[in-house]
Amino acid sequence: MKVGEAARRAGVTIRALRYYEKLGLVTPRRSRNDYREYEPLDVALIREIKGLMDLGFTAADTKPFLECLLAGNARADVCPESLAAYRRAIDDLSARIDQLGERRETLRACLEAAIGMVPDSRSDAGSPWSLELAWDGEEGEGWRWPLAGRRMPPLVLQSSSGEAVHLNDRASGRTVVYLYPLTGSPVFDLPKGWEQIPGARGCTAEACNFRDHHQDLLEAGARRVFGLSSQSAAYQREVVGRLRLPFAMLSDEELSLAEAMGLPTFDAEGRRFYRRITLVLRAGVVEHAFFPVDAPERHAAEVLAWLTANPER
């Protein structure tokens, strides 16, 4: 069968199928005319990859299961290597559940503390989280608010490296955190109309720009650099590996940071995404904020210029 039929039967996009082939997970035979010809086993492999990725596995993590099928087994998860992969995934989920529980309790404590600091429930005047948002132009061009000087909320965010990251850490030096909507994936299609949403495009280019300037940023005084979006930790791990990023990506699926600090977001296909904004933190306090970010493909150089002009004292 041809590529379109194989993708249809497996329930994936042609783009995803091509990506699996590029990774060497699926290798269809070639016809005399050099067309790809897919067998039922290829379709089974593709279905297995999709099913595992839906469960949070990365494409690379599916290899033990595929090898189990290729060995002639009726199921992909009856081999010792597959069972070991299941156990690793369960351990990872257990750790994430514990971290989410800690985050929930932290948020609850933040809420209770904030309620106690608001003198009038109809107004948060006097609260340290007051935003005083001001409109200064068309949407996407001019939201401005006093972020500098505000302490980061005590949230625990999951890192692509498996580390639990506290952005309010008082012991940390300068930290650069660039927030972005969504990095494209060879497997998942972008939301409909994504290209037409102001500020949505350019996330991969921005990540690559931070990758290329990473060492420069460290030499200019940044102790840590993170990317942050609402994608899952598994999604972020795939991005780090595919783009060869030398820094970790943070996952904030519930947009907890946006809720705590009133950061700008937008909706697409019923989902919320971060607007592009970069924070320079020092000892857990916002030292500088870049917003809006008009040229994501050059933004790391802009951050580098600011760090160079404002050395840490």
pLDDT in tens, 129-171: 223 333 333 443 334 457 888 999 999 999 998 889 999 988 8
**Mean of the pLDDT values across residues 180-207?**
83
Cα separation, 253 vs 222, whole angstroms = 26
Q: In this structure, are residues 226 and 177 in contact, taking their beta carbons and an 8 Å threshold?
A: yes
What single letter denotes the amino acid at residue 83? Answer: L
Residue 29: helix, strand or coil by DSSP? strand
Q: Give residue 124's pLDDT.
A: 36
Cα separation, 127 vs 135, whole angstroms = 21
Cα separation, 208 vs 297, whole angstroms = 8
DSSP bridge pairs for 176:
225, 280
Q: What are phi and psi of 78, to 5 degrees?
A: -105, 5
What is the pLDDT confidence band of residue 172, given thresholds at 50, 70 and 90?
confident
Q: Domains along the chain?
A: 3-78 (1.10.1660.10), 121-309 (3.40.30.10)
pLDDT in tens, 54-66: 888 888 889 999 9
Decide: pTM greater than 0.85: no
Which one-letter DSSP state was computed for residue 120? B
Question: Is 114 buried (19+), middle (13-18) or exposed (0-12) by CB count in 10 A?
Answer: middle
Say if residue 292 is preceded by a cis peptide, omega within 30 of 0.
yes
What single letter denotes the amino acid at residue 261? Answer: M
